[in-house]
Structure 1
Amino acid sequence: MTRQFLKAVSRLTAVMAIGVASMTSHANDDVIPVEKFQPAITVQFAPEKPNGWELERPMAAYGMNLFAANVPAYNGKGKLISSWSPQQAPVFEQPTVIIVHGGHGISPANVDMAVWLRKELKANVLILDSYWSRGKSENWLAWTEYGANMRVLDLIAAARFTQSQGADPKKTFVIGGSQGGWTVLRAFSNHNLSSEVKSLLVGGASLYPNCYVKESIFGRSPSGTTDKQFAPPLGNYVAPVIAFTGTNDSATPLSQCNVEKVFKGVEKWTNFEGATHSWDSPSGGIGRPGVDGSCSNALNKYNQFPVCRNNKYTEIMRKDILAFIERHLPSAQ
C-alpha cells in the first residue's frame, strides 16, 4: 500500500513538474532578442539644438544637468546619452523617474515633464536618449529595429545606471509618451526580461502610446508591423501601469489597437474625449503654463498629425501620475 502510494506521489510530482515547465516555456515564448535590438552606439554628444529646439538653456535654468554619455548600454558596448539630475537630498530617499522620449527624439515635452517632476515630486530624474547616441534624430516609422524592443533594453540599462548612482529600485518609475509610451507598455508586458524589469522598476505611466501589436486585427496595418519583433506583444502586465489616450489622436489611433489586450489590463486607463496626440505639449515654454488650445503640426514627414495643448487634460493626467507614484512608494504600502 505504501509502495503504491509513493508511486502515485511520484507520478503526480512528475506531472506537476511537466506542467510548471510548460508554463515557464509558455511565459518565455515572448523573447526580446538582444543582439537584434542593440544597434551600435556611435555618438557621444547631444546635438546643440535638435529640430531647432532650445533644450539646454531651460535645463540649466531649472537646475538640471546637461546631456552626457553616461548610461552603459544593455550589452555593455558604449554609453547612451542622458540627462541625470539627482536631488540634493540623499538619492536613495527620493523617488526616481526615468523619462523615455517619442519618435521625434528628446523634445521640449520631455524636459517640461522633468521640470514638473522635480518640482512636484522632488524626484531624481533621468531623461534617456535612444537615438542621438546611435547617430539618428528620429524613428518616425516606429516599427523598426529602433522600436519598442530596443527601447526596453535601453530602459533596463538606464534603470541599472540609476541604481548604481544610489537610486532605490523600489522607488523608481518610468514615464513615456508616444513611442516612449509604447516602451512603457512593452517593458511591463510579460517577456523573457520581465524579472529584471521588475527588479529595477516599480511601474510606469504610458502617454498616448503606439499600441499596434502583430496579432491585432483592427485598422490598417502600419509599415513594418508584419514582423512580430517590430510589433511585439503588449499586455499581461507584470507590474502596475497607467495609460492615457485621446479620442482625436491621429498619430497613435486606438483603431490600430487591440484595446482588450493592451489597455484593459492596466491599473487605470483614461481616454480623453477630443484630445489629440501630445495634449501636454509645452506650448507656453518649458516649465511655464501651457497656452490652452494652441495647435501645431508634428515634424513627422509621414504623418504631420495635429498636436493641440489641453490644459485641463494635462492637469488631470499629472495629478493621476503623482497619485500613481505616491501610492506605489514603499511608504504607502
Structure 2
Amino acid sequence: MHHPSSCPAMRDFKRLLSCLLAALCAACAQTMPQPSGPLAFNAATVGSPGSRATAELYRPEGAGPFPAVVALHGCDGVSPHYRTWARRLASWGYVVLLVDSFGPRNLRTVCNHGRDVPPELRAQDALAAAAYLRARPDVVGSRIGVIGFSHGGWTVLKSVLASDAGVEVTHPFAAAVAFYPGCEMPRSVLLTDTLILIGDADDWTPAARCERWRDIVMKHGHTVEMIVYRGAVHGFDTSRPPHAFAGHIVGQDPAAAEDAIARTQTFFRQRLMAP
C-alpha cells in the first residue's frame, strides 16, 4: 500500500503547490503597504526634554489626507507581528505610525518586568506620536486612532483616560482598540470609544479585570465594547500555536483572530473614516 506522500505524482503536485503558495505570498507582500523607513518625532518622555522617539511609518497609496492610527507593540518590542498589523491597517486606508517604545530606552523586551517601561510613560509616547501625525499634511488630524497589544494594549487603556497617563489629554484619540490588555483600576474619565478583545483562557491579562475596568469607565458616556473569546489565550492573533512564554501560555486561535481583525476594521471604519 502506498501512502499519498510516497507517490511521485503526489510529491510533484505538493512541490508545485508549495511553489504557487510561495509565489502568492511574495505577491501579497509586494502589494501590501511597506514602511517608509524609520523616523523620529519629539517625545520628551524618552529622556530629557527634546528627546526623540523612533517609529516606522506606513501609508496607503495616494496623496491623502487619510485618517491615521498609532500602533503600540507588546512587551517583546517591535516584531514582525506588529509590522503585519501596521501593513494591514495601511491597506485599510490609514497612515500608521508603529512606535518603538523600547529601542530609544536601550531595551529589547520587558516581558518579565513590565514596569521597566510603565504604560503611563508609553501612553505619553502614544500621545506624542498622535501630535506628530496631526502635523502631517497627509493626515486628517481629527481622525487619529490607537491600537495596542498586551503591554501596548495596557498602554492604550492609559492613553484614553483623561489623566491616567500622568498628563492631561488635550487631544483625545478618536477610537481605541486594545488586544488582550492589562487592565488596572482607572483613575480618571474615559475620553474615547474603546474596543477590548481578549480570551477567557488568558492567564497573563485576565478578562475579569477588564470587565471591571469597562464597568467603571462606561459610567461617563463613552462606549466600551468588550469581546471575550472562549478558549483563547494571550496573543491569540499571533502565528504560533499555544506555548509557554514568560510563565504564561500564549499563542494563536485562528477563529478568534479572524473575528477580532474583522471587528477592528469595522470599529475603526465607523469612527475614523469620513461618513
Q: Do the aligned partners of 1:188 and 1:197 also contact (CA within 8 Å) in 2?
A: no
Q: Partner letter of residue 248 of structure 1?
A: A
Normalized against structure 2, the TM-score is what?
Answer: 0.77
- 1:137 maps to 108
The question of whether the paired residues in 2 share the 8 Å contact of 1:173 and 1:202 is answered with: yes
User: In the alignment, which residue of structure 2 is the partner of 1:251?
Assistant: 204
- 1:80 equivalent in alignment to 2:50: no
Is contact 1:188-1:194 (8 Å) kept? no
Contiguous gaps of at least 5 residues in structure 1? 1-57, 214-232, 284-293
Residues 173-192 of structure 1: matches in 2 within 5 Å? 173-191=145-163
CA 1:79–1:277 in 2, change beyond 3 Å: closer, same or farther?
A: same
Residue by residue over 1:5-35, the C-alpha shift from the partner in whole angstroms, topping out at 9 and shown as x without a partner, is xxxxxxxxxxxxxxxxxxxxxxxxxxxxxxx
Which residue is 2:96 aligned to?
125
Cα separation, 2, equivalents of 1:258 and 1:117: 25
Deviation at 1:193, TM superposition (A): 3.8
In structure 2, the partner of 1:49 is none
From 78, 99, 102, the equivalent of 2:71 is 99
Cα separation, 2, equivalents of 1:152 and 1:237: 14
Corresponding residue to 1:148 among 85, 99, 119: 119
Residue 281 of structure 1 pairs with residue 238 of structure 2: yes
Return the offset for 1:183.
Answer: 0.9
- Cα 1:157–1:59 change in 2 (3 A) is farther
Percent of aligned pairs sharing the same letter: 19
Report Cα offsets for 1:138-159 as digits up to 9, x if no partner. 1224552511110111001111
CA distance in 2, matches of 1:178, 1:234: 20
Does residue 268 of structure 2 align to residue 316 of structure 1?
Answer: no
For the pair 1:271 / 2:228, whether they are aligned, the reply is yes
> What's the CA shift for 1:207?
0.6
Instruction: Mark the CA change 1:296 to 1:234 in structure 2 (over 3 Å): closer, same or farther.
Output: farther
Secondary structure of 1:151's aligned partner: helix
Check whether the contact 2:110–2:117 (CA below 8 A) recurs between aligned residues: yes
Residue 81 of structure 1: how far off its partner (Å) = 1.5
Does the Cα contact within 8 Å between 1:67 and 1:81 map onto a contact in 2?
A: no
| Selected match of 2:141 from 169, 193, 207 | 169
| Partner in structure 2 of residue 327 of structure 1 | 270
CA distances 1:75-127 after superposition (whole Å, capped 9, x unpaired): 542211110122232232x22111101111112221111122122x1221111
Larger radius of gyration: 1
CA distance in 2, matches of 1:63, 1:261: 35
Please give the per-residue CA displacement for 1:199-233, whole angstroms capped at 9, x wherever unaligned. Answer: xx2121011001134xxxxxxxxxxxxxxxxxxx3
For these two proteins, the number of residue pairs brought into alignment is 237
Unaligned runs of 5+ in 2: 1-27
Cα displacement (A) at 1:172: 1.1
Instruction: Say if 1:59 and 1:66, in contact at 8 Å, map to a contact too.
Output: no
- TM (norm. structure 1) is 0.65
C-alpha distance in 2, partners of 1:206/1:235? 18
Are residues 155 and 142 of structure 1, via their aligned partners in 2, closer, same or farther at CA, if it must alter by over 3 Å?
farther
Cα distance between partner residues in 1 of 2:152 and 2:118: 9
